[in-house]
Amino acid sequence: MKDLNTADLPFYQPVADECAVFETAHANALPLLLKGPTGCGKTRFVEHMAARLDLPLHTVACHDDLSAADLIGRYLLKGGETVWVDGPLTRAVREGGICYLDEVVEARKDVTVVLHPLTDDRRRLVIDKTGEELVAPESFMLVASYNPGYQNILKKLKPSTRQRFVSVGFDFPTPEVEVPVVMRESGLDEGRTKALVRLAGGIRNLSGMDLEEGVSTRLLIYAATMIAKGMPVDRALQAAIIEPLSDEPDVQQALRDIASAVFG
């Protein structure tokens, strides 16, 4: 493990015991599932832990067209020859690193078939195209994430898959945690950062408004960065918070009203 004071560790502010859970899961060859809203710090957490454990990290942003072949690899034509090229999951298994599948529920169904043998005591990856069967080394870890609040009947993580992972729940941080994080990432002063975090809390607590998700910490950092660089507050809020949250004029106006109440 790297020295925790090493300056090049990606910054992450722990909220509870999630770092200890990650380390224990890795030490015992257990796959880990991160559950929480978009932009609450899941990806940064994995980057931090990979650096902390000094392990190579292969991150995959899952989407509707992501197939098992995209993860495992395929034959490609290079210089007139057909050569096998490992996918990110295969590279992580060979290297003994971390493979992080962000929003795993977005991937095609055949992906889970590939993951199952890696999430039990077999810890094996079968590559049909090459005839290989790789046994994952002790240092290999499979990490996946998804947003439970943004699922529908067609995109839901099956219990048979979910119960193959140990899980950690994430949520938006408390103001006491979020204010220093936003200040550190953006360079904005404490007073205006506290106002931004109050605004985020107000929007997150709204009910009855047509918002699929609340304000992420990521969006707060974007807004704070723009304000710190000299952009007027109302324009930064419009570009970094209001427009990303909704396309509906009535909802946008309601958000502007809330922002006006917070920032005066």
Q: What is the pLDDT of residue 78?
A: 84
Confidence band for 4, pLDDT divided at 50, 70 and 90: low
**pLDDT of residue 34 exceeding 60:** yes
Residues β-bridged to residue 75 = 84
- In which domain, by residue range, is 159 found? 18-169
Same domain membership, residue 157 and residue 95: yes
pLDDT over 90 at 211, yes or no:
no
Are 128 and 150 contained in the same domain?
yes
Q: List all residues 6 or more positions away from 214 whose beta carbon is below 8 Å from its beta carbon.
A: 37, 172, 200, 203, 204, 206
Whether 222 is covered by a domain: the verdict is yes
Question: What tens digit of pLDDT does each residue of 103-158 get?
Answer: 999 999 889 889 999 999 999 999 999 999 999 999 999 999 998 876 554 567 78
Q: Tell whether 115 and 27 lie within a shared domain.
A: yes
Q: Do 184 and 252 belong together in one domain?
A: yes
| 263 pLDDT above the threshold of 50 | yes
Domain boundary among 115, 140, 169: 169
187: left (phi over 0), alpha (psi -120 to 50) or beta: left
pLDDT of residue 2 exceeding 80, the answer is no
Residue 68 resides in a domain: yes
Q: Is there a single domain that holds both residue 248 and residue 123?
A: no
| pLDDT tens string 47-61 | 999 999 999 999 999
Tens of pLDDT, residue by residue over 246-261, are: 999 999 999 999 999 9
pLDDT at 100: 98
- The answer to whether position 3 is within a domain reads no
pLDDT for res 232: 96
Is 161 contained in some domain? yes
pLDDT in tens, 174-198: 999 999 999 999 999 999 999 999 9
- Residue 92's domain is classified under what CATH number? 3.40.50.300
Residues 120 and 60 in one domain: yes
Count CB atoms within 10 A of the CB of residue 157. Answer: 18
Q: Which residue carries 């942003």 as its tokens? A: 61
Domain end position, chosen among 169, 200, 233: 169
Evaluate if residue 5 carries a pLDDT over 60: no
Mean pLDDT of the chain: 91
Indicate if 120 and 228 belong to the same structural domain: no
Tally of structural domains, the chain: 2
- Does residue 9 lie in a domain region? no
Final residue before a domain boundary, out of 119, 140, 169: 169
Looking at per-residue pLDDT, the higher value among 149 and 19 belongs to 19
Residue 14 has pLDDT above 80, yes or no: yes
- Do residue 58 and residue 161 come from a single domain? yes
State whether 72 and 179 are in the same domain: no
Q: Flag whether 128 is in a domain.
A: yes
Q: Is residue 228 situated within a structural domain?
A: yes
Do 150 and 218 lie in one domain? The reply is no
In a domain, 7, yes or no: no
Higher-scoring residue by pLDDT: 198, 214: 198
What separation, in Å, do the N-terminal and C-terminal C-alpha atoms of the chain show? 48
**pLDDT value of position 153:** 45
Least confident of 19-23, 79-83, 174-178, 187-191: 79-83
Q: Are residues 72 and 192 in the same domain?
A: no
**Residue 213 and residue 90 share a domain:** no
What is the total residue count of the chain? 264
The pLDDT confidence band at residue 32, using thresholds 50, 70 and 90, is very high
Q: How many CA atoms lie within 13 A of 93 on its CB side?
A: 24
